[in-house]
Amino acid sequence: MENARSTNTQTNQHTSKLGCLTPELNSRIQQIFSGQAKTAIALRKSSTEERIAKLKRLRSVIMDHQQAIIDAAQKDFGRSPAEVEFTELMPVIMEISDHCKHLKKWLKPRRAKMSAMMFGSSSYTQYEARGRCLIIAPWNYPVTLCLGPLVPAIACGNTVIIKTSEMAPNFSKVLVSIVNSCFDENEVAIIEGDASVASALLDLPFDHMFFTGAPNIGKIVMSAAAKHLSSVTLELGGKSPIIIDETADLELAARTIAWGKYINNGQTCIAPDHIYVHQSVMQDFTHAITNAMNEWYGEGMAAKTSQLARIINRRHTERVNGLLQDAKEHGAKVVYGGAVDLDTNFISPTLLSDIPDHARIMQEEIFGPLLPLISYNALDEVINKINSQPKPLALYIWSRNKNNADRIIAETTAGGTCVNHIAAHFLDQNLPFGGVNNSGIGSYHGEWGIRAFAHERAIVRSHYMTAKMFFPPYTPRIRKILGLVLKYI
């Protein structure tokens, strides 16, 4: 959905070049979508064993592409191999393994308790495939956020068209190879191209649309889905805050935040966006986090030699730099870092203080290596600030006071929350991952992915028709029976 960075990608029956929509590509998209209609009906009847076999095949092909994925990350982001393995390979492999282990249990019909009105009947629910699904993947974690949702989509027996991001062209090329090695296009097709290609896909009446990206684009996806009453899962973003109270383990907090914030150099939807630090520990925390950042990354241009990723492209580098310069113009102080090299898409890890609320950096999602530090006196003021903003995708609490943590959780809303950790809820396959309102609609991971890509169908099998007691004519006897029912239900 972003402006394209051109690349020469080989076109085959599944893909287009990373450019704008052409009449030929549009015709091809229509052909694939029509072809998937028949396949969707057949896949609905596929067995759990068949679906698990496909997932195992996908896992094998992903691991065969491990070095290609690492190389693509280096070309598109300058990311280190270890970071790629931790953030791109591990989550997807975990997701596949979890589905292979639990899919039979997850898809098993579930009995419902018999109500008084349903005496003589048996009731249950069972999951069924939604049908033809669209996955629009982002550029920041191309493998995890493309193949991650593909796993439950396949597990539920759907067909899928994937739209990769044109902003990570080398990653996109690898994803094309992975998908083409595993699936026929009538089951899973992968399309490359810019926003015009995404718009053409959004015009189609998919049964379900799964989008990961910015809230403003999420609104476009939701509007397109509304035209066909397609169901949606929207994994969006926002400004995810951290609250550090006076009881926090400052050393652990500092090092964990310095790690979690600068994975992919801040280009993460659940990265900490800003930190509220109790005034009594602000000095000690600032000292601890600058020490950690200096140890791991180096200050200023020295950080260019570290394993930090680069900003994805020049446009986004200029956007993040614009936030930095605007903050400084409004009186913000650079506590640490602040180095910018537009020619290499590099901005060093940067801490800022004394930032007014009306500065752009406090109004827009940062999605980069800038980290504002905000002093506070009482939890009330922090909770009120958080509640005055759109609901965040993540909220992080650092405290050894259980009452403080419980109070923050009870009095705020967020897609997910970690106490004394960063981003851990994303890695836990036993938890749903998703936002709320502006930060997202719906969730996935583990069994919640099944709920996203399947419809839970309610089924009643009647063995004795109790309803016939209420057939017309409506006699006084029926009124008497209804009176008893209303009294005792």
Q: Catalytic positions, please?
A: 235, 269
473 preceded by a cis bond (ω within 30 of 0): yes
Q: What is the pTM of this model?
A: 0.93
Rounded Cα distance between 67 and 88, Å, is: 12
Furthest-apart CA atoms within the chain: distance in Å: 89
The yes-or-no verdict on residue 14 having pLDDT over 80 is no
Q: Are strands 121-129 and 454-462 parallel, antiparallel or unpaired?
A: antiparallel
Average pLDDT over residues 43-68: 98
Q: Tell me: the pLDDT tens digits for 86-102?
A: 999 999 999 999 999 99
The yes-or-no verdict on residue 117 having pLDDT over 80 is no
pLDDT, position 5:
31
Question: Residue 470: which pLDDT band, with cuts at 50, 70 and 90?
Answer: confident
Lookup: tokens for 155: 């597990």
The yes-or-no verdict on residue 218 having pLDDT over 70 is yes
| 238 SS3 class | coil
pLDDT, position 302:
82
Question: Residue 7: which pLDDT band, with cuts at 50, 70 and 90?
Answer: very low
Among 301, 298, 394, residue whose Cα is nearest residue 341 = 301
The yes-or-no verdict on residue 17 having pLDDT over 70 is no
**Arithmetic mean of pLDDT over the chain:** 94
The yes-or-no verdict on residue 448 having pLDDT over 90 is yes
On whether the CB atoms of residues 431 and 417 are closer than 8 A, the answer is no
Q: What percent of the chain clears pLDDT 70, i.e. is strictly above it? A: 96
| Position 219, amino acid | K
Cα 206 to Cα 49, 201, 209, 453: the distances in Å are: 26, 9, 7, 12
Is residue 328 exposed (0-12), middle (13-18) or buried (19+ Cβ within 10 Å)? middle
pLDDT, position 337:
96
On whether the CB atoms of residues 90 and 147 are closer than 8 A, the answer is no
pLDDT, position 178:
99
pLDDT, position 9:
33
Cα 303 to Cα 79, 97, 130, 202, 339: the distances in Å are: 13, 37, 47, 41, 9
pLDDT, position 11:
32
Torsion angles phi and psi, residue 122, rounded to 5: -120, 135
pLDDT, position 236:
98
pLDDT, position 18:
61
Q: Tell me: the pLDDT tens digits for 158-189?
A: 999 999 999 999 999 999 999 999 999 999 99
pLDDT, position 4:
31
Least confident of 269-273, 356-360, 485-489: 485-489
Torsion angles phi and psi, residue 209, rounded to 5: -120, 130
Average pLDDT over residues 382-391: 98
Lookup: tokens for 36: 């998937």
Question: Residue 481: which pLDDT band, with cuts at 50, 70 and 90?
Answer: confident
On whether the CB atoms of residues 347 and 324 are closer than 8 A, the answer is yes
Give the chain's domains with CATH numbers: 23-236+443-454 (3.40.605.10), 241-438 (3.40.309.10)
Q: Tell me: the pLDDT tens digits for 241-262?
A: 999 999 999 999 999 999 999 9
On whether the CB atoms of residues 222 and 231 are closer than 8 A, the answer is no
The yes-or-no verdict on residue 10 having pLDDT over 50 is no
Rounded Cα distance between 220 and 368, Å, is: 24
Q: Tell me: the pLDDT tens digits for 140-166?
A: 999 999 999 999 999 999 999 999 999
Torsion angles phi and psi, residue 414, rounded to 5: -155, 160
